[in-house]
Amino acid sequence: MREHNEQQLISLLKMAYSAELAAAYAYRGHWHSVRDPDERASIKRIEDEEWHHRRLVGAMLGKLNARHSRFQEVKAVMIGRVLGVLCHLSGWLAPMYGAGRLESRNIREYEIAARHARDSGHESFIDCLLTMAEVEWEHEIYFRSRVATHRWAPRLPLWLQPPPKESIRHSFERETNEVPMSVPPA
Ligand SMILES: [Fe+2]
Ligand SMILES: [Fe+2]
């Protein structure tokens, strides 16, 4: 069980390591493509936070004696760069919408990784993984709030709203105390 959880943790971290690279490149294109100075600064800050996440995830992989996937890295660079260029062509709404949707998935992935870390005896990773989930939560709400300002927003079906930020730690603590060795349903 412990080894299984460690394998799950490693594969999630490998995916996250490359996903952060793709996101950082995509956000670089994104903030260059918007005109509003506040939006530029906010998306640039989000880009910086994705680079920071990548360093943190890379350090965890190192501690687990695991290496990122070269194939995933090449794919991430291509996806990130293509998305970055598309931001200049697709208009304002699509990149904001796409980013918000993606960020909501990132929250869940770091929450799940924190549970695999707990269940494989890597407790020292938990706080960092939950903090990254919280930062992704901030990213999601930022893009949601931007999409909400668009004139099409009332007619636009939005992705599922994540539960309140506090629930990231509350649900983790509750599950750890009540039902150890569990991963919550998506
Ligand atoms: Fe991130
Ligand atoms: Fe993010």
Amino acid at 156: L
Quote the pLDDT of residue 181: 55
pTM of the model: 0.92
Amino acid at 39: E
Q: What's the rounded mean pLDDT across residues 21-32?
A: 97
* Terminal C-alpha separation, the chain: 20
Quote the pLDDT of residue 186: 56
Amino acid at 6: E
Confidence of residue 178 (pLDDT cuts 50, 70, 90): confident
Specify the DSSP class assigned to residue 84.
Answer: H
Higher pLDDT, residue 11 or 183? 11
Quote the pLDDT of residue 2: 87
Burial 86-120 (b: 16+ CB within 10 A, else e): bbeeeebbebbbbbbbbbbebbebbbbbbbbbbbb
**Helix segments in the chain, DSSP class H:** 2-33, 37-63, 70-89, 93-119, 126-148, 166-178
Distance, in Å, from the CA atom of 115 to the CA atom of 107, rounded to the nearest integer, reads 13
Share of the chain above pLDDT 90, in %: 92
Q: Counting ligands in written order, which one lies closest to the CA of residue 52?
A: 1
Q: What's the rounded mean pLDDT across residues 86-91?
A: 92
Share of the chain above pLDDT 70, in %: 96
Q: What are 133-174's pLDDT values in tens digits?
A: 999 999 999 999 999 999 998 999 999 999 999 999 999 999
Q: Counting ligands in written order, which one lies closest to the CA of residue 139?
A: 2
Q: What's the rounded mean pLDDT across residues 61-90?
A: 94
Q: What are 36-59's pLDDT values in tens digits?
A: 999 999 999 999 999 999 999 999
- Å from CA of 27 to ligand 2 middle: 9
Half-sphere exposure of 118 (CA within 13 A, CB side): 20
Q: Counting ligands in written order, which one lies closest to the CA of residue 132?
A: 1
Distance, in Å, from the CA atom of 116 to the CA atom of 9, rounded to the nearest integer, reads 5
Q: Counting ligands in written order, which one lies closest to the CA of residue 56?
A: 1
**Closest C-alpha to 97, from 30, 17, 37, 29:** 30
- Å from CA of 50 to ligand 2 middle: 6
At the topology level, CATH places domain 2-178 in: Ferritin (1.20.1260)
Quote the pLDDT of residue 184: 58
Quote the pLDDT of residue 108: 97
Higher pLDDT, residue 112 or 181? 112
